[in-house]
Amino acid sequence: MYHWFALRSVPLVGNVLYRRLLDRFGSPEAVFRASDAELASVRGVSSAVAASIRGHDPRAFAESECERVRRAGVRIVTIRDPDYPPLLLQIADPPPYLYVKGDPTGLEPAVAVVGSRRATVYGRTVTARLAEDLARRGVAVVSGMARGIDTAAHQGALAGEGRTVGVLGCGIDVVYPPENRALFARVADRGALVSEFPLGMGPLAENFPRRNRIISGMCRGVLVVEAAERSGSLITAQMALDQGRDVFAIPGNITSSGSSGTNRLIREGAKLVAGVEDILEELVPRAAAAVAVAPPLPPLPAGEAALMAMFGADPLHIDEIIAKSALTVGEVSAMLLRLELKGVVTQLPGKFFHAN
């Protein structure tokens, strides 16, 4: 990872240019070996950028970061790794690599949940309930590990025995807020913690808008709960729209300034959410439509293939599938949702499923 860290430390090389350099030269190490003429062939590399790459000494940062990663027991997932979140690759400026604790795979589909740090009891209660319902239906919950709505979202997903991801606005070895230390450990165990920021970096104010694009970028949609005007949650919602994601919102008290931004989102076209089905009915058709125009699917994983082998001409009720498979309710729900997203099964009224 030395050269990945080294290239990231070069002044004037941001995420977009980093990716262009990778595409042109194949590896960060090869970038440092390139001539000025070769560097100039990359769009966005000016003479100043080329001079920065050729003249910058990255050794102190790269060596230190390699050692800190080793000591912290952190994984580095690069943009070239199969474990890199696939939807995140679609945004304009994905981080060239992520610091990861836990397992970032198997998180499709995912929904982001964002909202106020100063959440009301109503906001926290509704968030936890919806996150738990999403988790029980096999949808991963992504949030920012902050106080208030974020914390309730992660706790709800864990209560639903599902996967959850915390995207940090600080180094992955920094616990912020400090009272969430136990939650950090649980999220890393049942999903993943991810950050693009170097180890040891504190929760600087300018980090959080950058973090928000990752929260929305990893997901098919963003659910906003209790957001005031000009809040970070509304910035995330706008990023989601720019990234082509769905935006959902929980209606709030019309007399509360803490819900004014959320209610405005609904007026402007965000999907009003009163229950988990309001999210799933948008999530599944969009995914199914994408599958319809995609190349032929690869063979199903063993667990999903075994589940499909149970189907015949007649639909099966979810209880019958659970009994036949000897899996838990959560495991079967997650598999069925993934199969539904792939267009392999269709859910019928009454929790019956039909093989397509």
> H/E/C letters for each residue in 122-146?
HHHHHHHHHHHHHHHCCCEEEECCC
In this predicted model, what pLDDT tens digit does every residue of 235-293 receive, in sequence order?
Answer: 898 889 889 899 999 998 887 888 888 888 998 888 999 999 999 988 865 544 444 44
Q: Which two tokens stand for residue 131?
A: 């996150």
23 lies in the same domain as 150: no
In this predicted model, what pLDDT tens digit does every residue of 38-54 receive, in sequence order?
Answer: 999 999 999 999 999 99
pLDDT of residue 316: 86
The amino acid that residue 265 corresponds to is L
| Residue finishing a domain among 239, 254, 282 | 282
Look at residue 291 and tell me if it is in a domain.
no
Nearest to 219 by CA among 244, 190, 186: 244
In this predicted model, what pLDDT tens digit does every residue of 217-227 receive, in sequence order?
Answer: 999 999 999 98
208 lies in the same domain as 143: yes
Look at residue 91 and tell me if it is in a domain.
no
Q: In which domain, by residue range, is 209 found?
A: 101-282
Find the CATH number of the domain harbouring 63: 1.10.150.20
Q: What is the distance between the alpha carbons of residues 150 and 1, in angstroms, rounded to a whole number?
A: 31
pLDDT of residue 318: 87
144 lies in the same domain as 255: yes
49 lies in the same domain as 162: no
Find the CATH number of the domain harbouring 336: 1.10.10.10
247 lies in the same domain as 194: yes
Rounded average pLDDT over 322-346: 85
Strand partners, 271: 248
pLDDT of residue 284: 66
Number of domains in the chain: 3
311 lies in the same domain as 276: no
User: How many residues make up the chain in this entry?
Assistant: 356
261 lies in the same domain as 302: no
Using CA atoms, how far residue 262 sits from 131, 187, 226, 249, 299, in Å, is 18, 27, 6, 6, 42
162 lies in the same domain as 256: yes
Start-to-end CA distance of the chain, whole Å, equals 45
Task: Using the CB atoms, write b or e for 31-68: b if 16+ within 10 Å.
Answer: bbebeeeebeebeebeeebbeebeebebeebbeebbeb
The amino acid that residue 236 corresponds to is T
Rounded average pLDDT over 65-89: 94
In this predicted model, what pLDDT tens digit does every residue of 105-150 receive, in sequence order?
Answer: 888 889 999 999 999 999 999 999 999 999 999 999 999 999 999 9
Rounded average pLDDT over 329-355: 82
Find the CATH number of the domain harbouring 140: 3.40.50.450
SS3 state of residue 247: strand
Contacts of 229 by beta carbon, 8 Å cutoff, 6+ apart: 257, 260, 261, 264
CB atoms within 10 A of CB 124: 21
Look at residue 89 and tell me if it is in a domain.
no
50 lies in the same domain as 119: no
Tell if the pTM clears 0.75, that is, is over it.
yes
In this predicted model, what pLDDT tens digit does every residue of 179-211 receive, in sequence order?
Answer: 999 999 999 999 999 999 999 999 999 999 899
Q: Are 54 and 36 in contact (CB under 8 A)?
A: yes
CB atoms within 10 A of CB 85: 24
Distance of alpha carbon 133 from the chain centroid: 18
Q: Are 266 and 234 in contact (CB under 8 A)?
A: no
| Residue finishing a domain among 226, 255, 282 | 282
The amino acid that residue 293 corresponds to is V
304 lies in the same domain as 236: no
Contacts of 31 by beta carbon, 8 Å cutoff, 6+ apart: 7, 21, 22, 25, 39, 53
